[in-house]
Chain A
Amino acid sequence: GQQLNQSPQSMFIQEGEDVSMNCTSSSIFNTWLWYKQDPGEGPVLLIALYKAGELTSNGRLTAQFGITRKDSFLNISASIPSDVGIYFCAGPHANDYKLSFGAGTTVTVRA
């Protein structure tokens, strides 16, 4: 299947810091998605990207769809305690409906 590689695997950050994580693939994706999973919950969609080069913001979150269509990054600005969780990148297989997920980046915020 199409594999998504996320980095870093985990991070400890100070409250107020900016956070950056990325996702790469050996295959081209036409859509990049970023989900967040809070402890004990299912993942929730944060940002969806549909066009190469697209830069999209949602509050303190900013995500970009790489020009090569093989990568994407997610930035969180001025982190707060509720940013704790696991962030997954995901993308649908070409002409398909199944989402492939990365292994996730676990974010822990130190107050």
Chain B
Amino acid sequence: GAGVSQSPSNKVTEKGKDVELRCDPISGHTALYWYRQRLGQGLEFLIYFQGNSAPDKSGLPSDRFSAERTGESVSTLTIQRTQQEDSAVYLCASSLESINTGELFFGEGSRLTVL
């Protein structure tokens, strides 16, 4: 597709279960970001991938969170042993390179609800 695609769009899970969220960036975009958006709050940086460089994982809130990216394509964000405070919208974004112009292209997000 033309834009950033995320799946699932909605996920309801029970506390303690693992979840996997997927992001398909715009073709040709080498930079990929994951952000978390809690209700009524701004976007919180989680992780950044740029080409074949080591990812910047400095925003991951705990070791229950991990992310992988295959080359310059699909990325998956995994949350293990989910907790209620993990409930949020998880947004993926891509850009041609590292931010020079500041334009990130966001997907519609994956809304996670942990019961």
Contact A99 B99 (CB under 8 A): yes
Question: Are A43 and B43 interface neighbours, CB within 8 A?
Answer: yes
B108 touches A42 (CB 8 A): yes
Cβ of B79 within 8 Å of any chain A Cβ, yes or no, is: no
B50: CB under 8 A from chain A? yes
Chain B residues with CB under 8 Å of A45's CB are 102-104
Within 8 A of B (CB), among A12-37: 31, 33
B39-53 Cβ-contact flags toward A at 8 Å (1 or 0): 011111100101000
Nearest opposing residue in chain B for A98, CB measure: B45
B26 at the interface (CB under 8 A from A): no
Contact between chains at A42 and B99 (CB < 8 Å): no
Q: Are B45 and A99 in contact (CB under 8 A)?
A: yes
Q: Does B107 belong to the interface (CB within 8 Å)?
A: yes
What interface size band does chain B fall in?
A: 20 to 34
- Give A28 Cβ to nearest chain B Cβ, in Å: 16
Cβ of B65 within 8 Å of any chain A Cβ, yes or no, is no
Q: What per-residue 1/0 map shows which CB atoms of B17-42 lie under 8 Å from chain A?
A: 00000000000000101010000111
Give chain A residues whose Cβ lies under 8 Å from the Cβ of B56. Answer: 97-98
CA distance A48 to B48 in the complex (A): 21
User: Nearest Cβ in chain A — how far from B89, in angstroms?
Assistant: 9
A103 touches B42 (CB 8 A): yes
Within 43-77 of B, Cβ neighbours of A (below 8 Å) are at 43-45, 48, 50, 56, 59
| Chain A residues packing against B (C-beta within 8 Å) | 4, 31, 33, 40-45, 48, 88, 90-92, 97-104
